[in-house]
Amino acid sequence: MANKDPAVLIYFDKWISSTNGMKAEFRAWYFDLLIYQFDKGYIPTDEDAIAGICRVRPSEYESFKQMVKQVLNQKFKQTEIGWENEVMSDVLKKREDFKDKRALSGNIGVVIKLAKTIKGFNSNYLDKLKDDLYSKSLDEIEKYKDKQMLNQVLNQMVKLYIDVNVDIDNKIKEGGTGETIKIDLIQNEKMPIGWANTVSEFVNDYEFKKSVCQFYSAEWIDVEDRMVKFIQGVHAKGQFQEIAALKTHFRNHYKKHYVNGGSSAKDIREKNQGALSSGFIEAPKNFDYDSMGKW
């Protein structure tokens, strides 16, 4: 194996329980075999070769043959390539997986660092590039360390991102969305001055809706529908907020209920039973609305 570890991973609890009552020389030979498997991956099937691994003396050969029957046949499984201890095989696999992941992360870090030096690279593409790299093999990632190759990849990514924006714009035009949304608000004596304007600004903020669609890969009409129900819930419960706080609250609400929760809008409506409270989450209890500026 390449990049061999300088130390052997032995779980002492498993070792103690598996060797309890075993003769001292059997324990020593058993340990030799485990170390050999850790180093080579398997134990050869030839008995003389096994005796060589355990450094058995001629005077110990009869005892060694007993060890083969009592230990080798019980603690190891014969495969097509040789004898293997299943616990040690599992240790080796987990170790290799760990080293592969560490190597993958290290190589991806090198590519990301290189990408930041390329003129025109936007940090908005960073997560997209990482996701793309984690789906590739180490050999493929190695090619990305070439600056010219990486530059081509980033150009394709930028083009794709622009195409997504254009697609969203086209859907808005073709679907009749993007028109001014009007919401009739039930009068509330606690409603601050300018709240109606704030509501209108929130539900008609084109750039905000566009950013939500892009970030969550959501449909425009779906985001609009959820924004309307969200602001109706805010108004009904008298939780008046400034425009910036509304946007933050809605993003958290959308992520929790429609991304992380995995529930459809229909499921949310049936669960909450009511148009005004449909899909609505409570505002943070420790939010100090009294400290907000007067409207």
Is residue 275 predicted with pLDDT exceeding 80?
no
> How far is it, in rounded angstroms, from Cα 113 to Cα 133?
13
Is residue 195 predicted with pLDDT exceeding 50?
yes
Residue 36 has a CB neighbour count (10 Å cut-off) of 19
Span 214-231, average pLDDT? 85
Is residue 276 predicted with pLDDT exceeding 50?
no
Asked if 134 and 128 count as a contact pair (C-beta separation under 8 A), the reply is: no
Q: How confident is the model at residue 135 (pLDDT cuts 50, 70, 90)?
A: confident
Span 66-94, average pLDDT? 91
Is residue 235 predicted with pLDDT exceeding 60?
yes
Q: How confident is the model at residue 225 (pLDDT cuts 50, 70, 90)?
A: confident
Nearest to 257 by CA among 220, 202, 198, 216: 216
> Is the model's pTM score more than 0.75?
no
- For the range 212-219, what are the long-range contacts, defined as Cβ-Cβ under 8 Å and sequence gap of 24 or more? 212/250, 212/251, 212/254, 213/168, 214/164, 214/165, 214/168, 216/254, 216/255, 216/258, 216/259, 218/258, 219/171
For the chain, give the percent of residues with pLDDT over 70.
Answer: 72
**Higher model confidence: residue 101 or residue 55?**
55
**Higher model confidence: residue 159 or residue 57?**
57
Side chain identity at residue 117, one-letter code: T
Angle between helices 147-175 and 126-134 (to 10 degrees): 110
Burial class from Cβ neighbours inside 10 Å (0-12, 13-18, 19+) for residue 15 reads middle
Q: How confident is the model at residue 216 (pLDDT cuts 50, 70, 90)?
A: confident
3-state secondary structure of 135: coil
> How far is it, in rounded angstroms, from Cα 250 to Cα 273?
20
Q: CA quadruple 277, 280, 284, 288: dihedral positive or negative?
A: negative
| pLDDT at 160 (0 to 100) | 52
Span 194-208, average pLDDT? 84
Nearest to 110 by CA among 70, 66, 146: 146
| pLDDT at 206 (0 to 100) | 85
Span 154-193, pLDDT tens digits: 766 655 554 444 444 554 444 445 567 777 666 666 777 7
